[in-house]
Amino acid sequence: MSEGRNGSPSRRRVVGTMAASAAGLALPVTPRIPVQSAQAQPSGGVEKAQVVGLAVDGREDRPLGVDDPAPRLSWRVVRAGAAWTQTAYQVRAARSERDLDAGRLLWDSGPVHSAAQTDIAWRGPVLRSREQVVWQVRVWGPKGGATPWSRTASWEMGLLRPADWGRARWIEHPGRAVDQPLPLFAKAFKVDGRVTRARLYLSGVGLQVARLNGEPVTDEVLAPGNSNYQLSVEYRAYDVTHLVRTGDNTLGVELGHGTALVTRSVTNTATGRSAPYSWWQSQFKGTGTLTDPAARGASTAKVSSTANFHVGGTVNIDTGDGGDRLESRTITAVGTAGSDGTGISFQPALSADHATGAAVTASGNSLAGTDPSAGAAVTPRLIARLELTTADGTTRTLVTDRSWRTALGPTTTANWYSGSDYDARREQPAWTAPRADLSASAERRDGTPVGWTRAGIAPPPNLTTQLVWRNAEPLKVVDRLRPVSVKQPRPGVWVFDFGQNFAGWPRLDLDRLPAGTTVKIRPAESLNADGTVDQASIMGGGAARGTDIFAAYTTHGGARGETWQPQFHYFGMQWVQITGLPEGFTPTRDTVTGLQIHADVPVAGSLRTSNDRINRIHRMSRYSIMSNVMSTFTDCPGREKLAYPADYLQPFASLHRTFGYGAYLRTMERHLAEGQSKSGDNIGNVALKAPVYDWGYTGRFGDEINWGDGIVLTPWFLYETYGDTQTMARHYPQMQAFLTYIRTKKAGTGADAHLVDAALADWISSEQTSGRITGTWGYHQVADRMARMAALLGRTADAAEYRSLATHIKDAFNDAFYNRSLGRYTADGDRGTAGATQAAQALALDEGLVPDGEHGKVLDALVELVHAHQPFGGGPHFSGGTIGLAPIVRALHEGGHDDVLWAVLQEDTRPGYGYFMAPTTANPGGLTTIPENWDLGASKNHMILLQIEEWFHSGLAGIRQPRGGVAYRELVIDPRPVGDLTHVAGSYRTPYGEVTTEWTRERGVFRLRVEVPPNTTAEIRVPTGGGKPQTVPSGARFERVEGDRAVYSVRSGSYVFAARDVRQGG
């Protein structure tokens, strides 16, 4: 986890001397501080160490809206002396800084004798809505001295109960059709006195942009985030105290469709949007009218249509006329339509009379077993609550209701995939400024009426929809990319090259242009032979899914020029093509800027090497990761934009070395739990992607174990990487339900007992591995991790049961697939030789499934298969895909075959990373991100083939934790000086602090510098060239020699090692 704003560790300056010998000599390097400061403090003295990085549920940014009444806390320690360990900690918390200083505490843990710095349970009183917690920590070192109290951190609770929203209602633009411009909402209000506290609680479906008195309320973008809107909608809590003024104020909100409403039916002749692209479309749910009056007290309504109404979902009665008579009820039965039909039954009974002809609508299916419930169309609506406190203690609340004003804005179309059209002539300048004109006579720039009217009351997306806080970090504009070139391949066509594939927005900066000029921006990852953009890789599925992907801006004729970027979608792009500029207008590199967007997750790791190819692959991987960490993890920023669990969990060992996901993964687990079947025969199954907008429960890919098992692996990775046990405890029933589904519905019986056939097998691999191998491997993963988590949670009976199950699965795996005569795994084991793929060997090696005494044979088989895979010549090559690639990399590294990994990276033939970097017509400089497929098909910005990134950190930089390690409390430093590498430097921000390594190899001398963070230990494996250590330096204890490595154990501190005659690697 990255260093927070509370403080950052300073890198220690190395002093002292170092002697090198043929055997290798390590000297601890101490900070440049006075000698007396480096000595142990007497018991009860003051530690020089500092506590920093205070986090709540993984968030270090003083979050607002926390919905966990008993969150988990963590911190790090910096500037500690060598060999420092934490022996105790104390947390104290209050409702404010003033209370903390005065000793009026909510909670004082007192000194707790523990080395723990993560997953610390809140032991104070159960927290209430809106409650602020200001807290700080001090810790004790090994000699009994306490650190100073840390700087304070804080969090603020959100609205924990539906009743906390009070009289706030969902509102909409009444009668707006789906093909009309996107709505605006505004509320004017006055304030008497100075405001000392103002909180805006806001949820806009599907996307929101809010301004108060003309200023944005946040730097977050694309909020509030993707959801299964039938089960949850994210909301935000904003501190707007600085924006509220005495006197007149105006709060304004623009809404976009986002993933709540995706359709290809909305076209725009004005911009040429005739075939909007989208990977999927939302499902519009039931609509109709009452065919008979529905009286007060009735629990059944006769309706003109009962199609697409769902038991357990919502029926909304009398939705017209601004929603004044709206009543929403939970459906208990769906019958037949018409006056003679049985109608729709619901509960509770109606509170008012409703006349024949009243409009009736339905929600989506909240009890989805096979239905893609998240894809139910939800039209734009919002709910908000603004709470104001003035200096005299008076409180005032404004809520969304019919007093709000609404109009149709300048965004004329907005599609999550296809893009948006914006007509600046439709703008009302300063519509969110104080004293803005929100009357019916207000005018747009072009003189036409804005059309402000009263907002209408809307039903919630579903009565089952909960308003929830987003534990994950918000999305932000994190960088600005200036084009490296501008070219004109054809008259009127301008192509801007950013030099890097990324996800985000193109921003237009236009000099003065005539009003009504429509400028179109087409993004792409590739070029055509004539230099125009080729959009094939950012769409898919053929023309039936549409062919238009662009953003269009129509100017208003601003005298000082105009600036615009989209707000309600994003693109994946390296190039943008601009058309529509007037003849004679020559754009420059300043005409378009790339605004890179991703979730504001903390930076976790770094890497640099002496090898340009390694550095380039690392950069490609990093940009692929950044491009797919949005509201949820995504598979790609173009074609699909969907959260397939395997696409982010199989490469997670690479992902977490780049950014920290201690908070982010908690939100992903919520999505996975919401994507779990809750009815029908497949209760417990988890959809192929979550949120599941199109399909993913049934069919060939509908219950794929190595995608659905994300509901188990996500809590496990949170524990293994960050020490979190809370997520597994909270989602234990859902994890159990998934394992039960696999045991009862997927696992074979009889001769196939404990075997699972996975339809997707090793997806996108270069050679196909049996789905029975990948499925049974996945089954063992689930059972094994469930056994471990059950034991951690004290569920001993479950732990024993799942451990026994895992043992049976391992035995079945080997009985079915291990060919003992060949010493390798095949599709049919002893019964055949086919299917002996790289993945088949690596999955068994990595998961610990290989029988005793057979490990060497299987590892040799893997090495042989990597060298032998030459489908297009050259070699060696990887053949693994989504499931197999990471295990291949790990098995080779842990088996000591880093030379093979190096050799694979030098290959330019397919399949390989060199092939990705080769210049082509489509990508003249080669790719700048990792593609989806080895053959460059489909997306060119994906994460599933970047799994070599794990080796860059664990092998080249040599930073990892041992098997069975938790939260990097124990470290292994094991650099591999392979190939022609002469220098590697790496770092990783563990939950305890930053570990760094840097090594050089010059003139036969290998030098390694290591910094081990406080409160951790490390095993350091120093390449010695086969020599024997002669000296054991102070602070580094010699343990043994393993092959060409001298193994030392150390505690926290800085160390330098040196050895002669370290050979060049293979």
On whether both 51 and 141 belong to a single domain, the answer is yes
Confidence (pTM):
0.94
In this prediction, residue 8 carries a pLDDT of: 31
Using an 8 Å Cβ cutoff, are 194 and 230 in contact? no
What tens digit of pLDDT does each residue of 777-809 get? 999 999 999 999 999 999 999 999 999 999 999
Q: Is 407 helix (H, G, I), strand (E, B) or coil?
A: strand
1018 in a structural domain: no
What tens digit of pLDDT does each residue of 618-662 get? 999 999 999 999 999 999 999 999 999 999 999 999 999 999 999
Dihedral sign computed on CA atoms, order 935, 937, 940, 946: negative
What tens digit of pLDDT does each residue of 128-140 get? 999 999 999 999 9
Question: How confident is the model over 176-199, as a mean pLDDT?
Answer: 97
340 in a structural domain: no
For residue 214, the 8-state DSSP code is: T
Look at the chain and report how many structural domains it folds into.
4
| pLDDT of residue 349 exceeding 90 | yes
In this prediction, residue 65 carries a pLDDT of: 97
On whether both 106 and 125 belong to a single domain, the answer is yes
pLDDT band at 699 (very low <50, low <70, confident <90, very high): confident
On whether both 901 and 777 belong to a single domain, the answer is yes
| pLDDT of residue 873 exceeding 70 | yes
On whether both 863 and 794 belong to a single domain, the answer is yes
Token representation of residue 3? 């260093």
702 in a structural domain: yes
CATH code: domain of residue 840: 1.50.10.10
What tens digit of pLDDT does each residue of 70-89 get? 999 999 999 998 999 999 99
Backbone angles phi, psi at 703, to 5 degrees: -135, 55
For residue 667, give the nearest of 1020, 121, 232, 1048 by alpha carbon: 232
What tens digit of pLDDT does each residue of 561-613 get? 999 999 999 999 999 999 999 999 999 999 999 999 999 999 999 999 999 99
CATH code: domain of residue 495: 2.60.120.260
Question: How confident is the model over 181-208, as a mean pLDDT?
Answer: 97
| pLDDT of residue 745 exceeding 80 | yes
On whether both 465 and 580 belong to a single domain, the answer is no
| pLDDT of residue 28 exceeding 90 | no
Q: Specify the range with the lowest mean pLDDT, choosing from 17-31, 472-486, 1005-1019.
A: 17-31
On whether both 136 and 270 belong to a single domain, the answer is no
In this prediction, residue 476 carries a pLDDT of: 98
Question: How confident is the model over 259-276, as a mean pLDDT?
Answer: 96
Cα separation, 621 vs 607, in Å, equals 12
Q: Is 633 helix (H, G, I), strand (E, B) or coil?
A: strand
On whether both 816 and 895 belong to a single domain, the answer is yes
| pLDDT of residue 329 exceeding 50 | yes
Cα separation, 919 vs 939, in Å, equals 17
On whether both 670 and 803 belong to a single domain, the answer is yes
Q: Which residues contact 279 (CB under 8 A, 6 or more apart)?
A: 417, 540, 541, 545, 639, 640, 641, 642, 694
| pLDDT of residue 26 exceeding 80 | no
| Region for 680 from its dihedrals, namely left if φ exceeds 0, alpha if ψ lies in -120 to 50, beta otherwise | left
| Region for 926 from its dihedrals, namely left if φ exceeds 0, alpha if ψ lies in -120 to 50, beta otherwise | left
Cα separation, 860 vs 892, in Å, equals 10
User: Where does a domain end: 599, 615, 642?
Assistant: 599
pLDDT band at 761 (very low <50, low <70, confident <90, very high): very high
Burial 132-166 (b: 16+ CB within 10 A, else e): bbbbbbbbbbbbebbbeebebbbbbbbbbeeebbe
Residue 116's domain comprises: 37-157
The separation between CA 464 and the C-alpha centre of its own chain, rounded to angstroms, equals: 25
Cα separation, 127 vs 119, in Å, equals 18
Q: Quick one: 839 exposed, middle or buried, by C-beta within 10 A (0-12, 13-18, 19+)?
A: buried
**Beta strand pairing call for 466-469 and 456-457:** unpaired
Cα separation, 228 vs 650, in Å, equals 23
Question: How confident is the model over 988-1016, as a mean pLDDT?
Answer: 95
421 in a structural domain: no
For residue 282, the 8-state DSSP code is: P
Question: How confident is the model over 968-977, as a mean pLDDT?
Answer: 97
Q: Specify the range with the lowest mean pLDDT, choosing from 24-38, 794-808, 909-923.
A: 24-38
Q: Taking all residues of the chain, what is their mean pLDDT, rounded to a whole number?
A: 93
What tens digit of pLDDT does each residue of 466-489 get? 999 999 999 999 999 999 999 999
336 in a structural domain: no
On whether both 653 and 798 belong to a single domain, the answer is yes
On whether both 621 and 595 belong to a single domain, the answer is no
For residue 6, give the nearest of 156, 140, 153 by alpha carbon: 153
In this prediction, residue 1062 carries a pLDDT of: 62
69 in a structural domain: yes
pLDDT band at 1028 (very low <50, low <70, confident <90, very high): low
User: Where does a domain end: 940, 956, 972?
Assistant: 956
What tens digit of pLDDT does each residue of 411-435 get? 999 999 999 999 999 999 999 999 9
For residue 873, the 8-state DSSP code is: B
Cα separation, 876 vs 29, in Å, equals 41
285 in a structural domain: no
| pLDDT of residue 982 exceeding 70 | yes
User: Where does a domain end: 124, 140, 157?
Assistant: 157
On whether both 795 and 884 belong to a single domain, the answer is yes
For residue 953, the 8-state DSSP code is: I
pLDDT band at 19 (very low <50, low <70, confident <90, very high): very low
In this prediction, residue 7 carries a pLDDT of: 34
Using an 8 Å Cβ cutoff, are 611 and 983 in contact? no
Question: How confident is the model over 448-467, as a mean pLDDT?
Answer: 97
793 in a structural domain: yes
Cα separation, 609 vs 603, in Å, equals 19
Cα separation, 4 vs 153, in Å, equals 10
In this prediction, residue 1003 carries a pLDDT of: 87
On whether both 178 and 51 belong to a single domain, the answer is no
In this prediction, residue 1064 carries a pLDDT of: 52
| pLDDT of residue 42 exceeding 90 | no
In this prediction, residue 692 carries a pLDDT of: 87
Backbone angles phi, psi at 479, to 5 degrees: -160, 160
pLDDT band at 1030 (very low <50, low <70, confident <90, very high): low
In this prediction, residue 16 carries a pLDDT of: 26
